[in-house]
Structure 1
Amino acid sequence: MAIPFSVYEERARAHGILASVAFLIIVPLGVLIPRYLRTFSNRWWWAHWLINLLVAAPLIFAAWAMAKSARSISHLPTNHHSVGRTIFGLYIVQFLFGAVIHFVRVPIILHVGLGLLILTHGGLYHQWEYATGNVHPVKGSLKHAWLALLLIFWLMYSIGLVLLRRQFAQEREGRLLKQDQDGL
């Protein structure tokens, strides 16, 4: 007979699902959109911003709330809590960086680097079993899906880097056009 999930496990599982959907699907989509669209259009920002603000952010805040709720039930000493708080803090900083970069027009390299760093955490592989005593182990198929999504993202992002020269040329043309329009 299957052992039912405890309240703690239910909340931890909800946290894991929300965080996984946000950080493995939605945020990477929000990263890949500018990586590709910037090479063909100057109108990529709204799609990037809306995906990250209206879809990813609510999921991430809900995942944080579920983690906080689970943590209030079980105070197991785990580095996942510290890593999670760090990733959540980095996400907030990243989000603020994005707003500053767009509205103030400062260089974006730190925004890109921080965003890629946030996408590399592997809580599914290590923390679930430790935090729950492995009573309900994560299915191998979920671990394989996590790994596949991570690999697909990095492959897609790497392929997108091939288009950087085209992106820079497009942006240079846009700046020159703007200067010409401002000069008229």
Structure 2
Amino acid sequence: MSRLALPLALGLLVARAYGKVIHRDDEDEDEENHDQDNSPWREQMVIAHAILCALGFLLFIPAGVLWTRWSRTFTKRWFLGHWILQGGFAGLTIAVGFGLGVASVSKSGHKHFTDTHHKLGLALVILYLVQCCLGCIVHYVRPAVVSHRASALKPLQTSGAFGSAILLHPSAQGRGLQNYAHVLLGLLTLGLAFWQVRLGYHQQWEDSGDEDWDLNEGDTIDIVWDIWVVVVPLAYGIGLWLLPRQFRQEAEARKAEALLVQRPARYSVLRDQEREEQDMAELAERPRPSPPQA
């Protein structure tokens, strides 16, 4: 999580640096609000916000999801690519884009989080942070190896990079509820992100009051969105055909890990037997003391 601190801090610094509104006299407040609301600098901030957030939520996050779905059965380094796309590129662009969005609202003199787009944007950032935390738990905190006869609903002692924890282990595939929650929350976040981007380039552009920003149905950005909202789910759905292969690989890995857990105890017994036999042989080879002579 410390690796996410840099992009988040950068986004907050951007929001704080550009979000300060100059204090005005009461009689000039409305006029200056209107000027700032349509200032070229604010327009550039809004455009940058739209581009960065669209890249983060509709390019890097889907890329991370599809990379994981397609590559994890072919390479053991799939998590590195997943982390770089989701925690690196997506985290940086989302943090800076969100900061610019907050700053542009502050510069316009309007209140924060008063419409659907603003509220949903905040919710998506929170979901993204929760998803990152959940992903770390799923990857680094794993259930201990147990016999296949163990109860499927038995709480298991787990250990990992973040210490020990008690997690519910409900599935025969060796997954806890946190694994399923991570997948479902990720798909929910991605679906909301598609809706959020469409709200942004339609609702916010139209509410800006600038005729140059108006987007009509059939424009290039609308066509791109329509294609992308079909391509991403379709690619993910095709990747689900790799699930049987993934389950087989995971089952083989669990069997191998179980053998490694049992092997030291078995070898320990053999070593004890070997030591005992060696000691008996040494005793047999020692010269016996001759009886005392009268």
Instruction: List gaps (5 residues or longer) in structure 1.
Output: none
Other structure's SS at 1:156 match: helix
1:32 aligns with 2:69: no
Matched, 1:108 2:184: no
Q: Is 1:123 matched up with 2:202?
A: no
Higher relative contact order (CA 8 A, sep 6+): 1
Q: In structure 1, what is the equivalent of residue 286 of structure 2?
A: none
**Contact persistence 2:206–2:214 (CA under 8 A):** no
In structure 1, the partner of 2:135 is 98
Cα distance per residue 1:14-47 (max 9 Å; x no partner): 1110011111111111101111112333431111
- 1:160 Cα offset (Å): 0.7
**Is 1:138 the counterpart of 2:215 in the alignment?**
yes
The residue number in structure 2 matching 1:80 is: 117
1:162 maps to 2:233: no
TM-score (structure 1 length as normaliser): 0.88
Alignment check: 8 A CA contact 1:11 1:70 kept: yes
Measured against aligned partners, the alpha-carbon deviations of 1:75-131 in whole angstroms (never above 9, x if no partner) come to 264211101000010001001111111111354111111111111232343332343
| Shift of residue 5, structure 1, vs aligned partner | 6.7
Post-superposition CA distance 1:118-149 (Å, at most 9, x none): 11232343332343135212371012112222
How many Å separate the matches in 1 of 2:258 and 2:210? 61
**What RMSD in Å do the two structures reach over aligned CA positions?**
2.0
The SS at the match of 1:162 is helix
- Within the candidate set 69, 90, 100, 1:66 is matched to 100
Q: Name 2:26's counterpart in structure 1.
A: none
Q: How many residues align?
A: 181
Q: Whole-Å Cα distance in 2 between the matches of residues 124 and 25 of structure 1? A: 12
Identity of matched residues, %: 33
Q: What TM-score does the superposition give when structure 2 sets the normalisation length?
A: 0.57
Partner letter of residue 81 of structure 2? A
Which ranges of structure 2 fall in alignment gaps of 5 or more residues? 1-37, 143-175, 264-294
Radius of gyration: which is bigger?
2
Give secondary structure in 2 for the equivalent of 1:33.
helix
Higher strand content, 1 or 2: 2
Please say if residues 78 and 131 of structure 1, whose CA atoms lie closer than 8 Å, have aligned partners that are also in contact: no
